[in-house]
Amino acid sequence: MSNFQPSAPRLTVLGAGPGDPELFTLKGVRVLGEADVVLYDALANNDLLSYVRPEARQVFVGKRRGMRSYSQDEINGLIVDYARRYGHVVRLKGGDPFVFGRGREEMLYAEQHGLLTDYVPGISSAVAATGSVGIPVTHRGASEGFQVITATTATGGLSAAVTEAARSRTTTVILMGLSQLGRIVEIFGQHGQSEVPAAIIQNGTLPEARLVTGSVAQLPARAAAASIGAPAIIIIGEVARLAHASAAGPAVFSELLSYAEVA
């Protein structure tokens, strides 16, 4: 007969950061070490699981080709079930869970079912991935603000936020937008932004990161030529001129040098 006594049922929603495991927070390390169960996503770097106690359960609930995919309702159910059976459930999510990560949604469901909840931020890829290739989301003389949007709605359609972003002239960072790239380019073109500098970053902050740059209109062809895939972030705005030439690679080196310097 087991002497295991679960702690009070609770959930911690924890941000895994943008990819590079060295960008994970110290508080995150402590929380993983305290977990009884860790439910982790595909965008969370697996190296972080080394902080989990050997006796704790690790359950993959993300989406990967060839593996079972869990719906959000199923994940919500697992959180409550595991918390009641084992105690402390940590939900490890890529980036920051409150930036298009459904983190608060999971917390509310847990609270409705009697669980204690907590939130530990992660560095959002919306800022870190762009910065890792030399693109700041704001820069004196180029951008006085930025907006972070998703291109895809919960039902898989194009978000109305894309049209709203195309009407502005601040930096736009688009998450989950690669599958909608053609429509994004079309909409920004309709609002006179076809020639605005832009970039796509795949696997930002990781050694295998890749970058393509050019005008908004050039992005689809350049992304296709470079076989850019998800996870990727799209950046539209004058700050894209500031990308590191070394990060972009020789294919776009001359293009970056042709950009006018931004003071």
Taking the CA atoms of residue 132, residue 16, residue 202 and residue 129 in that order, the dihedral angle to the nearest 10 degrees is -20
Query: Catalytic site residue 27?
Result: no
CA distance 228 to 238: 22
Among 41, 93, 96, 107, the active-site one is 41
Among 36, 93, 107, 176, the active-site one is 176
Query: Catalytic site residue 47?
Result: no
CA distance 217 to 222: 10
Q: Residue 83 in contact with residue 10, Cβ under 8 Å?
A: yes
Among 27, 47, 63, 67, the active-site one is 63
Point out the residues that are catalytic: 41, 63, 176
